[in-house]
Amino acid sequence: MITKTTIIKHKSPKTNNPLAIVGLPGIGNVGNLISTQMIKEFKGVKFATLYSPHFPHHVTMLKSGGIRIPSNKFYLIKGKQKRRDIIVITGDAQAATSEGQYEVNSMIVDFLAGELNCTTIYTIGGYNREGMVTESPRVFGNVNKKHMIDAFKECGVVFGETRGMIWGSAGLIIAFAKMKGIDGICLMGESNFLDFDAAAAKAVITVLNNNLKVNISTANLDTIITRTTDSIKELEKQAGVSGGISVPGAPDFGKDLKSPTYIR
């Protein structure tokens, strides 16, 4: 039985100066889209799984007819041409309570720092600025050490314009990383409140490609973007709306009403 947060190791991989990329469910599923793409494209090898009673109390139904309880998974992508290894963390859910968020995310950081000697952590999230809709998403950043800002500015990341709070793993992990002396940055794709915001994910991937000197493909995301755009145009046509994009599922804040900003 799972009565406390536990990491089960399936393998003990040898790593070369690894950095970690955390892409968990959140606004626009930006992090999950990126982590899933990286694991698939670079053939990431799963070496550990985190289970917790703080995850939502449901199971996922599988195509095979089976079930799976929520978890976070750790994958290793070996660096090529003497580049750093990349540990990718993805999963079905985040902890559902404040206590759970602290417990799960502190355990993730302890595992990365203690057993894997990770010295840099990137968390990926979505960010919506006052309920605004954008066709050209930017990437916003917040760091736990100021020396990181210049390098990411060169990659197009915008600093100092975000407001509000970073909820969940995207914020807590880099905060706990700072306590361990680990560099941390939260990269946030400007999101339109879509369930799967491929455009925001693509913007973040562009930053990762420039910063890490990798070549993460955006072909799958481009397909999703095209389908989403076509669906929105069809909805606009049916509703008799023209001039601007109306995002399905986005809150109607009104012209003068400012909404809170949520990041995770």
Which is higher by pLDDT, 133 or 155? 155
Mean pLDDT over residues 77-85, rounded? 88
User: Could you tell me if 26 and 264 are in contact, meaning their C-beta atoms sit under 8 angstroms apart?
Assistant: yes
* pLDDT exceeds 50 at position 29: yes
Span 40-55, pLDDT tens digits: 999 999 999 999 999 9
85-121 b/e with 16+ CB inside 10 Å = b? bbbbbbbbbbbeeeebbebbbbbbbebbbeebebbbb
User: Could you tell me if 5 and 105 are in contact, meaning their C-beta atoms sit under 8 angstroms apart?
Assistant: no
d(CA 31, CA 66): 26
* pLDDT exceeds 60 at position 60: yes
Of 135, 133, 161, nearest to 149 (Cα)?
161
Predicted structure pTM score: 0.86
Instruction: Give pLDDT, residue 194.
Output: 75
Span 195-240, pLDDT tens digits: 889 999 999 999 999 999 999 999 989 888 888 777 767 777 777 7
Instruction: Give pLDDT, residue 245.
Output: 46
Instruction: Give pLDDT, residue 234.
Output: 74
The 3-state DSSP class for residue 205 equals helix
The 3-state DSSP class for residue 221 equals helix
CATH architecture of 6-263: 3-Layer(aba) Sandwich (3.40)
- How is the chain split among helix, strand and coil, in percent rounded to 5? 35, 20, 45
Q: What angle do CA 179, 160, 19 make, to 5 degrees?
A: 40
Instruction: Give pLDDT, residue 246.
Output: 44
Amino acid at 137: P
d(CA 196, CA 180): 33
User: Which pairing describes strands 72-77 and 86-91: parallel, antiparallel, or unpaired?
Assistant: antiparallel
Instruction: Give pLDDT, residue 127.
Output: 92
d(CA 34, CA 21): 9
Instruction: Provide the percentage of residues in the chain whose pLDDT is more than 70.
Output: 88
Domain ranges for the chain: 6-263
* pLDDT exceeds 70 at position 264: no
Instruction: Give pLDDT, residue 254.
Output: 37
d(CA 232, CA 177): 40
The token pair that represents 89 in the structure block: 């963390």
